[in-house]
Amino acid sequence: MSLLLSEHNCVRLRFFLSLFIIVFLSGTFLLIALDSAHAKSSRAEHTYRQAKSEHDRLAGNSRLRIHRTAWVRVIKKFRKVYLTYPNDKKVAPKALFMMARCYSELYGYSGAGKDIREAIERYQVLVERFPKSRLADDALYGLGNLYRRTGNSRKAREAWEKIVKEYPKRDKAGIARNKLKTLGPKQRQKTKSLKQTTRYEKEKGSAGLSSPRIAPGAKPVTVREVRHWSASDYTRIVIDTAGPVSFKKGYLPANKAKHLPERVYLDLKPASIGEKLKDNISIQDGLLKGVRVAQFNHSTVRVVLDLRKTHKTKMFYLEDPFRVVVDAFGENYFQRPSCPPRSSKVYKKTRGQLKGDDLSLAQQLGLCVKRVVIDAGHGGKDPGAIGPTGLREKDVVLKISKKVASRLKKDLGCQVILTRKKDRFLPLTQRTAIANAKKADLFVSIHANAAPSRRARGVETYFLNFALDKEAMRVAARENATSTKSIGDLKNILNDIMKNAKVDESSRLASYVQREVVKNLRKKYSNVKSKGVKQAPFFVLIGARMPSVLVEVSFISNRKEEERLKSNRYLDRVAEGIVNGIKSYISGTKLAYLP
């Protein structure tokens, strides 16, 4: 009996000792994290002050400030600050504000419309990304002035009204009220009939994005195909067309006499139905009954979504090739399952020892990272980039993705879903649709980089945001299989998308993955270059409802890195680095929320 008690006490002692070590290490890591965050914040502020000093010198020099090159040099300084510290809530808004201010001041000398558009865009990004910043009302006030300057009184009114409504106690509120008085009485708009008002229209963001402008008299464009991917409370509809079309969303109430349910429709114009288009698609998944397509009039194609339990719809369009994407969500889609508390671990007495239940690392950390989607880029008819000796990107990234999935299952005990398990083609829109339908907690898309110069090398990781440098635009254009011009046009639709994107979390995940992949490769390989974390408008990340990143693991166009990508040992190192990055992201999240 005394021996059993002694063994039991030893087990208890070991348990409490382990618990003490965990608490001690957590506190130590937290202090390290806080010190690191403070140092990074200090560097960010110092870098910003340097750029601001250069701006002040330029603004005070009457001889220099008339030259465009001088302004562009200062703007690049602030752009670098923003790209280096995109999530610093103190410095990033200031850098954006100063970029906008510089473009605005430059416009006073140049008179070029592109300068005023650049100023407007920077102010818009500031307001969208940092609505709580002390500069948000200043940015709105600047927006109003720029819109008024270009003759757009409606937009100017919207900007100043937003200050009065959302920032009534800020210093710009009184000035905005006076500005609104100068615009005169607001024009009354025609109101929709009550019969047409529905919860879908009232739902914030349900109207989606404005459609592209189509020149008057344009010829009808063929609607080629309607595709869908569906789950019990999420459905994505993709409408493929032969070219750009405008689209308008509407609502139709249920018609019991004709046995018709509630409907949401899109009118596409100018458009005509293609010969091979399937005009009646049955879905029957509990969310939508189906999709019907018909020629509404000589220039309009109507796409009707027969609703069952849809709570919210969201739409946007993509180019090259042009398609309209509609996401439909069920009422329970946004109610994520709660995570088990850290104290929920149950211990059992087995053979005289305390043994923990089979909880995964994610569960032990008390976090909701239970499902990860790993996306192997390209596939099938799309080989991706091809190396000097013929190595194909699609083959390399599939091998890495399988290795990542295997390690994640083993190390984290979470569910891992591969968007493709073999060499098959997947449209970009289907990849995020899979992640959304499965309610993934993380989405990681794996690619190999390429560049015109065979000397380009290194590892870089991206998250979805505006691209503010040419190299990021080039990489996005290659992965999107589109032109840089189309990528530039995409900035017009990203504003609305970014409201729902997990920008901060995606940026943090990208930082961890980038750091760990580079660190893991450098243990065994020389001259591994880190090209850092960047942002760009990748189509494969658009519409993802969870933190999502795209990893460019190496340059397949570089002879040395192509040779390494042929090595199973090298691919193991890359995969291990990605997994370590995900684990660090989870641990970092835990530290951030420690009581």
pLDDT tens per residue across all 595 residues of the chain: 454 445 556 656 666 666 666 555 555 555 545 455 556 668 889 999 999 999 999 888 878 888 888 999 999 999 888 888 888 889 999 999 999 999 988 887 777 778 888 899 889 889 888 999 999 999 999 999 888 887 788 889 999 999 999 999 999 999 999 888 887 666 654 443 333 334 443 333 333 456 777 888 889 999 999 998 888 788 899 999 999 999 988 888 888 888 888 888 999 999 999 988 888 888 877 678 889 999 999 999 999 998 887 667 888 888 778 899 988 888 777 665 444 443 333 333 333 333 354 444 444 544 557 899 999 999 999 999 999 999 999 999 999 999 999 999 999 888 999 999 999 999 888 999 999 988 899 999 999 999 989 999 999 999 887 765 677 777 877 787 765 556 555 655 565 555 555 777 888 899 999 999 999 999 999 999 999 998 888 888 888 889 999 999 999 999 999 999 999 999 999 999 999 999 999 887 654 444 4
Take residue 82 and report the two structure tokens written for it: 């923003």
Q: How far is CA 255 from CA 192, 292, 446, in A?
A: 19, 16, 47
Close Cβ partners of 195 (under 8 Å, ≥ 6 residues apart): 253
For residue 393, how many C-alpha atoms fall within 13 Å in the half-sphere facing its CB? 26
Q: In a 3-state reduction of DSSP, which class is residue 14? A: helix
DSSP strand E in 202-341: where? 221-231, 234-241, 246-252, 263-269, 271-273, 280-282, 288-297, 300-307, 310-318, 323-330
| Cα R_g (the chain), whole angstroms | 27
How far, in Å, CA of 507 to CA of 464, rounded?
Answer: 8
Q: In a 3-state reduction of DSSP, which class is residue 259? A: coil
Query: What is the model's pLDDT at position 211?
Result: 73
DSSP 337: P
Backbone angles phi, psi at 318, to 5 degrees: -130, 155
Reference 488, options 103, 108, 77, 117; nearest CA is 117
Close Cβ partners of 293 (under 8 Å, ≥ 6 residues apart): 223, 226, 273, 277, 278, 279, 280, 301, 302, 303, 304
Question: pTM (2 decimals)?
Answer: 0.60
Q: How far is CA 545 from CA 198, 388, 416, 593, in A?
A: 24, 37, 17, 22
Reference 399, options 450, 447, 444; nearest CA is 447
For residue 72, how many C-alpha atoms fall within 13 Å in the half-sphere facing its CB? 6
Close Cβ partners of 312 (under 8 Å, ≥ 6 residues apart): 200, 203, 205, 206, 328, 329
Q: Which amino acid is at 97?
A: F
Query: What is the model's pLDDT at position 362?
Result: 43
Q: In a 3-state reduction of DSSP, which class is residue 360? A: coil
DSSP strand E in 436-515: where? 442-449, 459-464
Close Cβ partners of 45 (under 8 Å, ≥ 6 residues apart): 90, 91
Close Cβ partners of 121 (under 8 Å, ≥ 6 residues apart): 100, 491
Q: For the chain, which domains are there?
A: 17-182 (1.25.40.10), 199-330 (2.60.40.3500), 374-450+463-592 (3.40.630.40)
Query: What is the model's pLDDT at position 19?
Result: 60
The burial class, CB within 10 Å (0-12 / 13-18 / 19+), for 595 is exposed
SS (H, E, C) 287-321: CEEEEEEEEEECCEEEEEEEECCEEEEEEEEECCC
Q: Which amino acid is at 240?
A: D
How far, in Å, CA of 21 to CA of 78, rounded?
Answer: 44
- Helices 484-498, 470-480: axis angle to 10 degrees equals 90
Query: What is the model's pLDDT at position 579?
Result: 97
Query: What is the model's pLDDT at position 361?
Result: 46
- Helices 113-129, 484-498: axis angle to 10 degrees equals 40
Query: What is the model's pLDDT at position 193?
Result: 36
